[in-house]
Structure formats: C-alpha cells, structure tokens
C-alpha cells in the first residue's frame, strides 16, 4: 500500500487514491475512516502533481509568451522536481528503516508518511492556481501576457505564507530574467524578440516608414512611464543608427553593449529605482557617444524654429501670402463654375479642388516670399529649407497620422482634435500643411508632434484668414463711399447723393458687424500669438538653448577670476581668451519628451481641446466668410445698377433690384449669426474662466511628469489666462450686451 501511495504521489494515477466508480469496486472497503482521510489528502496532492506535470509541459511548449513558457519550465524543473526528490527521499528513509518513519516491528504509520508531504499541499495548490492563471484568456480571447504574470507573482511575494513567498520569489526571478533578456536585446542592439514579439512591450507598426510604439498593457507595473519612454527611445535610436549605416554604428553599439554589465548586476525581484537608473545610464551613454554626433542640438533647434515660424505663423507674411493665393484660386474656380455667391448660405456649389491645385497654391506662396527676400535677407536659409520640406495637400489624399495619447493629451482630446473642422477653411475642403522630416530628426520630433503642428496651423490660419478677409473689405473704396462726391444742385447730382446716402444707411449695420468681428478676431489673435504662442516658445527656446556663461579665466597662480567684476587689465597674447561654454546639453530623448510636452501645453492653452469654445469660433469664421461673400456680391450689384441707371447698360436676364433685395435680406441674417457666434464664444470663455478642472489643467496639473527625475526637466511657463482675453474683449465693446445689429443709428460698437 505504501508503495502504491508513493507511486501515486510521483504522478502515476492509482485507483487507491481515486474515488470509486461504484460501491462494489471500492478499493478502500477495508480501510478505516481516519485512514480514508489521510488517503484523501494523498489523493489531492497526487492529483495536483499530475495536473501540474501535464499542463506545465503544455504551457512550456505551446504558449505564445516567452515569459509564461519560462515560468512553466521553472515550475516543472525546479518545484515539481523538488517534490519528486521529496518522494524519493521518503521512500529511501522507509527502506533504510529510518526511525522517524518506521516504528517497531517495521510498521510505517500512514500519518508519519503524509506528515512529510503536508508542507507541500499549500505550495502545490498555489502552483496550480498560477498554472490556471497562465492558461486563462482575457475578455478579448487573448492569452496571458508575461507582464501580467510578473505582476501577479510580485503581488504573491506579500502573501504572508513563507513557503508561498519563497516559491513566488523563484518564479519571479525566472520570469524577470526572461523579460530582462528581451529588454537587453532591445536597449543594447535595437532588436525585437524573435519569438513572442506580441508579448513584448515594444511593437513595430505596419507599413513604411517603420516605427515602434509602446504597448502599456505589456509592461510590468514596476516600470515607470518615463523609464518605458526611455527604453522605447533607446531602441528606436539604435534602429536609426543602423539604418543610417554611419561609421559610428559599430562604435556606438559596442559602447552601449558594455552597459550589459549594469543590467546583469540588477537584483531580483527588480527594484523600480535601480532599473530606472540602469536604463537612464544606457540612454545617456548612447546619447553622449553616438546620437549627439549625428543629431547636434543646433540642427534640432533649427527645425523647431522652422516649425515655429511657418506652422505657428511666426512669419506673418507666409500666412498672408498663403491665404491670398488660396482665395485667388477659389475665386478663379467660382468664375469658371459660374458660381459667384453662396446659394442659400449653404456653402459653395459645384466646387472641386484637386491636389495639383493645392500644391500650386503653395508654390505661388513661395514665389511671393522669395520676391520679399530683400526685406528678410537674414531668413533666406530658413525659407529655402522650408520650401524643400513643407507641403500642402488635401487630407483625403494623405490621411493624417493618429495622435499618440498620454500625458497632457487624453483619448477624448485626441478624438476631438482628429475631427477638428478648421482644416476646411482654406479651400472649403480638408487640407493641411505637412512636413517631410529628414532622419534623424524624427527621433526628436515624432509624427504625432507634426500632426499637432498641422492642427494648430489650420486653427490659427483660419483666424488669420477671417481677419484678413474682413479688413480687405475696407479696400473696396467704392463700397464705402462715392468718390469723387457729386457736387452741384443738378438733378443728377442730387440723385447720386441720395443713392449713396441710402446705400450708406443700409450698409451701416454691415460695417458695424464687420468692425465688431475684426475687434474680436484682432484681440483673440493678439492674445494667442503674443501671449500664448510667443510666450511658450520663448520659454521652451530658453530651455532648449540655455544662456551661455563665459569660461572662468585662470591666472598664472591657478585661481579663477570672478566674471562679475570689471574686465581685468589686458593680458599677454599667450594667455587663452575666455570662450563661452554651454551650461547643459540635453540628450535627444529629453528633447523629445520636452518638445511633446511643449506642444500639448500649447494645444491646451490655445483652447483647441475645448469644444465649447472651438465650436462657436468655427461657426463665426464660417459666417464671416458668408458676410464677406455677400458684401462682394453687393458691390458687384451696385456697379451693375449704376451702369443701368447712369449709362443705360441693361441686362434683360437679371432683375438687379430683386437680387439686391435678396442679398440685403441674406446679409441681415448673416449679421445676426455673426454677432450670436461672437457672443457664444465669449460666453464659452466665461464658463471656462470659472471651470476649476480647466483652470487646474491650465496651471499644469497633469502635464508635468514628476517621475522624470531630470535635473533640468522642461516645465511649461505659466503664460496667458482666459481672464486676460476676456478683459481685452470686454473693454469698450458691445459684447455681452442685449443690443442688436439692426442698423439703428443709436447703436455704438466701440
């Protein structure tokens, strides 16, 4: 019987320890109830051991995760092997007549035998729970992730049972060793795992250009967000170095490979702080020895300056020229289509814009800027670089890249930005500026960053375009006044004066509305450009290129001369001249993180993530387009009516008086909608001013990552404020009043 029990505990099924299929076939018929209880415990241990052998072997050979396979192998080769050795030790003790197990007359108490295995019951049960956890699937049908298993094993270290904690510690060591091997291949050589790549936290994206993304659910919990970003950046950088096939490839990889010793000295279970320090050391080593040679700070600063000037409208002449060329293209299409006005205020009809026409608009814009080089000769190099990199295209021909969510940009905000309607304003169809970023600059400026630049460009350009179109109305002199004014008392002169007096009275509300819209747009643009965009850029640029300090001059005695005193007496020419040196040099990953934070702060403070404000603002610029179009049409009608009345030029196919009445009626409706849109936008600002969550985000809460641990981490400056914009809009304006733009002479705008 003892031999049967020991065989069963070793993993061989035995009818002695299995419940009988029928009372007649009960193998335990002659066994007392206490012995039955002991055999039931033996049967439970035997059943656990048998299932662990079978399923751990299956996991070790078929699971998709390398980490899960490693843990299953450790269960089989370490713990089940230890249990098997325990069975053999008990058997050997019995055969040797060990007094601890064998009593008088060679009797072996079953209680003593099962007592030897009592300590294994809880351990085998815990191992079986672990195996079942590995075999379980997620809600979406996916197998267990290695990171999830590591987190569970690390939690079990705090179970309170010493034997379970010791078992969990050994499995944690096996799992983290397997995971660290995958990490080492990525951070030292830029290579993804050849097996189990779907379980690794870094995965390659589909299609060219090749890129890599971080999958948060595949990361163990002890890895902080900043450490994960560093690991992703290191591997991507190594792939860039390999792709560029530079002479520094072998040197850089060999130098980084020397950091393998730092990873190999890490103790298990891995401590978050120690692991972060090791990754940071590898990142800094890679940056100092390889990346800063192929990606100097001056090159990064030059590209960021270009994006600031052309995408964020730092060069106002670019925005003006682009707007004027786009409007000229649209007007030409109207003329060819015979559609000179909006029909029923529903937008353009029968208007199709092609990619070639959009590209031609940008080419003509460059030609205009080149003709102005005499005034901006110092920016010629930047203009040449912009001409070679920046493109204008329709979004249907090149869909925008998806935005990467995370710190400062949640999923809701990203979805809102992805559907931003401001791309429609330039050509009445979605179009956007983009830039072909040369390598290796894409290590610092990501595709998602460029997408944010395009979104902000469309937003700011829409406001600038509406402002320009409104102010251009004042250039139509004949629409504002009759010049030269008719003099004399003749009937013709009196008729002309009365005609222009009537027109001036009818157009007064239109000019009032246009003036009010110009005031709103002017103050809003000035706030965005001077306080937000320029303020944040100056803050970021001063962090990017910190002020240089002069190198201290050392006298012959070796003491440093203070730099704050008056200049010393000139020394002989043999003494080296003090040269300015930079106080700090940022590595590319720090630059990339800071630049992304800068952009996301800018997006937030430009209110692009606040649909309560952007919706009425988009409605406003749309109605401004309608207002400008109606006034241009009215000017054309006035010219035709003057020819008809004064020169007898008749058009029998058009009823000019009837059409003029229709345009005036439509114009009154547009005026009301413009005012309502302005009031809605201002009201949205008032709501935001009292929104505690919005104000907390404005102050930077949720944007700055306290885990960065950098000595000079970028912190966005606190610039602007919705209250400042509201103060500008409230000062001397009708905004918020109950008056209407109905043409009454008693109404005052400013």
Name the DSSP letter for residue 577: P
Is residue 407 predicted with pLDDT exceeding 90? no
Q: CA-based diameter of the chain, in Å?
A: 149
In tens, the pLDDT along 471-518 reads 999 988 878 776 666 676 677 777 777 777 887 888 889 999 999 999
Q: Where does the pLDDT of residue 207 fall: very low under 50, low under 70, confident under 90, or very high at 90 and above?
A: low
Highest mean pLDDT among 30-39, 75-84, 278-287: 75-84
Q: Where does the pLDDT of residue 95 fall: very low under 50, low under 70, confident under 90, or very high at 90 and above?
A: confident
Residue 115's contacts (CB-CB under 8 Å, 6 or more residues apart) are none
Q: Which residue has the higher pLDDT, 396 or 750?
A: 396
Residue % of the chain over a pLDDT of 90: 38
One-letter-per-residue 3-state SS of 343-367: CCCCCCCCCCCCHHHHHHHHHHHHH
Per-residue confidence (pLDDT) for residue 646, from 0 to 100 = 67
Kindly report which listed range (1-15, 172-186, 189-203) carries the lowest average pLDDT score: 1-15
Per-residue confidence (pLDDT) for residue 734, from 0 to 100 = 54
Name the DSSP letter for residue 22: S
Per-residue confidence (pLDDT) for residue 186, from 0 to 100 = 92
CA 501 to chain centre: 57
Residue 474's contacts (CB-CB under 8 Å, 6 or more residues apart) are 480
Average pLDDT over residues 434-461: 91
Asked if residue 75 lies in contact with residue 52, where contact means CB atoms within 8 angstroms, the answer is: yes
Is residue 394 predicted with pLDDT exceeding 80? yes
Per-residue confidence (pLDDT) for residue 628, from 0 to 100 = 92
Rounded to the nearest 5°, which phi and psi values hold at 14? Answer: -140, 135
In tens, the pLDDT along 320-368 reads 999 999 988 887 766 655 544 444 444 444 467 788 889 999 999 999 9
Can you give the pTM of this predicted structure? 0.79
628: its two tokens: 């400008």
DSSP of 404-469: PPBTTB-HHHHHHHHT-GGGGTTTSS-EEEEE-PPTTGGGTS-HHHHHHHHHHHHHHHHHHHHHHH
Dihedral sign computed on CA atoms, order 468, 470, 471, 476: positive
Is residue 247 predicted with pLDDT exceeding 60? no
CB atoms within 10 A of CB 537: 22
Q: Where does the pLDDT of residue 574 fall: very low under 50, low under 70, confident under 90, or very high at 90 and above?
A: very low
- Which one, of 617, 683, 694, lies nearest residue 460 by Cα? 617
Q: Which residue has the higher pLDDT, 131 or 663?
A: 131
Q: Where does the pLDDT of residue 401 fall: very low under 50, low under 70, confident under 90, or very high at 90 and above?
A: confident
CB atoms within 10 A of CB 280: 17
Peptide bond into 484 cis (omega under 30): yes
Is residue 220 predicted with pLDDT exceeding 70? yes
Per-residue confidence (pLDDT) for residue 569, from 0 to 100 = 38
Highest mean pLDDT among 22-31, 246-255, 311-320, 584-593: 311-320
- Which one, of 146, 171, 143, lies nearest residue 157 by Cα? 171
Is residue 639 predicted with pLDDT exceeding 70? yes
Q: What's the rounded Cα separation, in Å, for the pair 499 and 490?
A: 14
Is residue 557 predicted with pLDDT exceeding 50? no
In tens, the pLDDT along 53-75 reads 999 999 999 999 999 999 999 99
Q: Which residue has the higher pLDDT, 29 or 214?
A: 214
Average pLDDT over residues 704-715: 60
User: Which residue has 């091997």 as its token pair?
Assistant: 181
Q: What's the rounded Cα separation, in Å, for the pair 733 and 473?
A: 21
User: Which residue has 């950088």 as its token pair?
Assistant: 237
Per-residue confidence (pLDDT) for residue 349, from 0 to 100 = 47
Question: Within 13 A of 429's CA, how many CA atoms are on the CB side?
Answer: 18
Kindly report which listed range (205-209, 382-386, 727-731) carries the lowest average pLDDT score: 205-209
Adjacent-strand bridge partners of 432: 393
Kindly report which listed range (302-316, 418-432, 674-688) carries the lowest average pLDDT score: 418-432
Average pLDDT over residues 9-30: 59
Per-residue confidence (pLDDT) for residue 255, from 0 to 100 = 57
CA 362 to chain centre: 28
């Amino acid at each position: 019987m003892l031999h049967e029990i020991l065989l069963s505990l070793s993993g061989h099924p035995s009818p002695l320890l299995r419940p009988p299929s029928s009372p007649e076939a009960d193998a335990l018929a002659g066994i007392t109830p206490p012995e039955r209880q002991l055999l039931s415990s033996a049967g439970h241990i035997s059943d656990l051991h048998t299932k662990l052998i079978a399923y751990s072997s299956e996991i070790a050979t078929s699971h998709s995760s390398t980490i899960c396979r490693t843990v299953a192998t450790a269960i089989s080769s370490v713990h089940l092997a230890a249990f098997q050795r325990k069975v053999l030790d008990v058997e050997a003790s019995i055969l040797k007549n060990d007094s601890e197990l064998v009593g008088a007359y060679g009797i072996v108490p079953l209680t003593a035998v099962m007592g030897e295995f009592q300590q294994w019951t809880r351990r085998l049960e815990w191992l079986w729970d672990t195996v079942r956890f590995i075999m379980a699937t997620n809600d979406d049908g996916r197998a267990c992730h290695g990171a999830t298993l590591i987190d569970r094993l690390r939690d079990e270290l705090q179970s309170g049972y010493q034997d379970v904690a010791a078992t969990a510690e050994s499995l944690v060591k096996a799992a983290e060793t397997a995971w660290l091997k995958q990490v080492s291949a990525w951070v030292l050589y830029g290579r993804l795992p050849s097996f189990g790549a779907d379980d690794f936290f870094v995965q390659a994206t589909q299609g060219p250009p090749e890129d890599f993304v971080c999958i948060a659910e595949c990361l163990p919990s002890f890895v902080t967000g900043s450490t994960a970003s560093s690991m992703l950046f290191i591997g991507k950088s190594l792939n860039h170095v390999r792709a560029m096939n530079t002479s520094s490839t072998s040197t850089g990889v060999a130098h980084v490979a020397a950091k393998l010793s730092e990873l190999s000295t890490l103790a298990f279970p891995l401590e978050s702080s120690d692991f972060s320090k090791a990754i940071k050391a590898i990142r800094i080593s890679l940056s100092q020895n390889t990346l800063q040679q192929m990606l100097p700070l001056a090159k990064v600063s030059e590209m960021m300056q270009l994006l600031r000037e052309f995408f964020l409208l730092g060069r106002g002449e670019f925005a003006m020229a682009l707007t004027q060329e786009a409007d000229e293209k649209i007007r030409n299409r109207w003329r060819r289509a015979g559609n000179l006005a909006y029909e029923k205020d529903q937008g353009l009809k029968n208007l199709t814009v092609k990619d070639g026409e959009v590209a031609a608009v940008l080419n003509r814009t460059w030609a205009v800027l080149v003709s102005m080089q005499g005034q901006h000769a110092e920016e010629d190099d930047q203009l040449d670089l912009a001409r070679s990199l920046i493109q204008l295209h329709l979004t249907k021909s090149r869909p925008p890249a998806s935005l990467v969510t995370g710190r400062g940009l949640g999923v809701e905000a990203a979805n809102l930005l992805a559907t931003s309607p401001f791309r429609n304003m330039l050509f009445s169809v979605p179009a956007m500026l983009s830039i072909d970023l040369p390598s290796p600059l894409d290590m610092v400026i990501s595709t998602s960053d460029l997408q944010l630049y395009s979104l902000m460009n469309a937003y700011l350009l829409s406001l600038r375009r509406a402002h320009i179109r409104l102010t251009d109305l004042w250039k139509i002199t004949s629409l504002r006044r009759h010049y030269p004014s008719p003099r004399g008392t003749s009937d013709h002169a009196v008729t002309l004066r009365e005609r222009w007096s009537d027109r001036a009275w009818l157009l007064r509300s239109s000019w009032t509305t246009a003036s009010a819209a110009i005031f709103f747009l002017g103050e809003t643009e000035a706030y965005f450009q001077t306080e937000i965009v320029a303020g944040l850029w100056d803050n970021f640029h001063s962090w990017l290129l910190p002020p240089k300090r002069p190198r201290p001059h050392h006298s012959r005695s070796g003491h440093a001369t203070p730099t704050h005193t008056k200049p010393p007496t000139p020394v002989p020419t043999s003494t080296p001249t003090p040269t300015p040196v930079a106080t700090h040099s940022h590595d590319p990953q720090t630059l990339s993180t800071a630049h992304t934070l800068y952009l996301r702060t800018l997006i937030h403070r430009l209110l692009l993530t606040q649909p309560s404000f952007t919706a009425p603002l988009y409605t406003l610029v749309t109605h401004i387009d309608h207002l400008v179009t109606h006034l241009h049409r009215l000017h054309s009608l006035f010219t035709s009516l003057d020819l008809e009345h004064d020169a007898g030029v008749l058009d029998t196919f058009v009823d000019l008086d009837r059409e003029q009445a229709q345009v005036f009626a439509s114009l009154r409706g547009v005026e009301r909608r413009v005012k309502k849109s302005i009031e809605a936008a201002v009201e949205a600002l008032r709501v935001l001013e009292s929104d505690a969550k919005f104000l907390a985000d404005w102050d930077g809460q949720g944007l700055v990552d306290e885990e960065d641990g950098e000595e000079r981490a970028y912190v966005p400056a606190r610039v602007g404020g919705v209250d400042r914009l509201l103060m500008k809009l409230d000062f001397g304006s009708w905004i918020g009043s109950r008056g209407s733009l109905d043409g009454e002479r008693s109404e005052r705008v400013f």
